[in-house]
Amino acid sequence: MAMIETINLTKKYGELVALDNLNLTIEEGACLGFIGPNGAGKTTTIKILATLLKPTWGEARVDGHVVGYQNHLIRPVIGYVPDFLGAYEDMMVVEYLEFFASCYGLHGAKREKVVGDVLDLTDLGYKAKSEVNGLSRGMQQRLSVARVLLHDPKVLLMDEPASGLDPRARIEIRELLKELRRMGKTIIISSHILHELAELCNAVAIVEKGQLLFNGSVAEIMRRAGSGRVVQLRVDDRHAEAAALLREVKGIATVSITDTESGPRIDLDLDPEQGMPVSEIPSRLITQGFRVSEIHQEQVNLETAFMRLTKGIVA
């Protein structure tokens, strides 16, 4: 079942097109890493899904309800975590949560229990009597997550939740998000810390200049980015002859020789359309009498996939 769906979603600010016919589907229980260059349209998308912006045209649906027409049905099922906490810094942590719990219609013993539960879940119980403005940036982010969990939403919309955090705070937020995923929440995370998204998310969407470039599993994006991979190898001698032989092999797009301190190295770019197995390369050389002393395939991760699939264009 699709928990979130956008159909030709478009947002314009005057002549600026922030979103350009975005078609995105997120299944219930999925954790989606939403990535793209600054200005690509990520925050605009999240704010539309959070009912804070109206699309210029097109449609966005959350849990089957249409943004802009059924916001009163959408807001109870979503939790929006911006990159900064916002106001109310003069409150204590427990007062801050009790205030928002009352806004969600929670009162008396039920409110007390819910506030206690989210404090435990976000590991902020020992800070309950601390002032919000005295919390570290990481604790403020955890408090922001605690706030949106008070009404137990189905969907979490998180815009750069690890922005500006130190390494320890990022790890703590990451572990919290893993727990929320285990609870079955549908989560969208916009972030530039791509190696952490690869660990957290089971799906990735890449946007650039307001357009969707990719939407699928982490494994699929790695496969797509890796199909144009770089292979580096060394032979004992006759480097120019080996390079000339490889240039004739179907599936190898380019061949070059690089001089290094360890001697000449042959660099290959494989054609993404051919999908040639790397294991075939040394066998081609060996059958022609060359001795392959080293072969190395470039490792593809979410960062290299992002760099290969985007051009750094903004709206």
How far apart CA 172 and CA 121 sit, in angstroms, is 12
Measure Cα distances from 134 to 4, 138, 178, 201 in Å.
Answer: 36, 11, 26, 32
Instruction: Assess whether 46 and 144 both reside in one domain.
Output: yes
Q: Are strands 203-208 and 186-190 parallel, antiparallel or unpaired?
A: unpaired
Instruction: Assess whether 267 and 193 both reside in one domain.
Output: no
Residue 6 is predicted with a pLDDT of 96
Instruction: Assess whether 92 and 149 both reside in one domain.
Output: yes
Q: Which tokens hold the place of 193?
A: 């810390």
Q: Is residue 311 part of a domain?
A: no
Q: To 5 degrees, how large is the angle CA 180–CA 76–CA 200?
A: 20
Q: Is residue 313 part of a domain?
A: no
Measure Cα distances from 302 to 59, 160, 165, 246 in Å.
Answer: 29, 17, 21, 29
Residue 131 per-residue DSSP state: B
Instruction: Assess whether 238 and 219 both reside in one domain.
Output: no
How many CB atoms are closer than 10 A to CB 109? 8
CATH of the domain at 279: 3.30.70.100
Arithmetic mean of pLDDT, 254-272 = 85
Q: Is residue 112 part of a domain?
A: yes
For residues 303 and 167, the model is more confident at 167
Rg (alpha carbons) of the chain, rounded to whole number: 25
Query: Which residue among 176, 196, 224 closes a domain?
Result: 224
Instruction: Assess whether 205 and 290 both reside in one domain.
Output: no
Helix (H) / strand (E) element for 43: namely helix 42-49
Residue 311 is predicted with a pLDDT of 66
How far apart CA 232 and CA 268 sit, in angstroms, is 6
Q: Is residue 305 part of a domain?
A: no
Residue 200 is predicted with a pLDDT of 84
Q: Is residue 106 part of a domain?
A: yes
Instruction: Assess whether 48 and 119 both reside in one domain.
Output: yes
Contact call for residues 81 and 148 (beta carbons, < 8 A): yes
Q: Is residue 109 part of a domain?
A: yes
Instruction: Assess whether 119 and 73 both reside in one domain.
Output: yes
Q: Which range, of 63-72, 91-100, 162-171, 267-276, averages the lowest pLDDT?
A: 267-276
The mean of the pLDDT values for the chain is 87
How far apart CA 81 and CA 185 sit, in angstroms, is 14
pLDDT band at 313; cut points 50, 70, 90:
very low
Instruction: Assess whether 121 and 69 both reside in one domain.
Output: yes
Instruction: Assess whether 171 and 116 both reside in one domain.
Output: yes
Instruction: Assess whether 148 and 112 both reside in one domain.
Output: yes
Q: What is the domain count for the chain?
A: 2
Write out the residue range of the structural domain in which residue 69 sits: 2-224
How far apart CA 132 and CA 140 sit, in angstroms, is 7
How far apart CA 147 and CA 131 sit, in angstroms, is 15
pLDDT band at 275; cut points 50, 70, 90:
low
Instruction: Assess whether 21 and 169 both reside in one domain.
Output: yes
% of the chain exceeding 70 in pLDDT: 90
Kindly report the pTM of this predicted structure: 0.77
Q: Is residue 304 part of a domain?
A: no
Helix (H) / strand (E) element for 187: namely strand 186-190
Instruction: Assess whether 172 and 88 both reside in one domain.
Output: yes
Q: Which tokens hold the place of 244?
A: 């000339």
Secondary structure of residue 301 in the 3-state scheme = coil
CATH of the domain at 169: 3.40.50.300
Q: To 5 degrees, how large is the angle CA 272–CA 313–CA 227?
A: 10
Q: Is residue 198 part of a domain?
A: yes
Query: Which residue among 192, 224, 256 closes a domain?
Result: 224
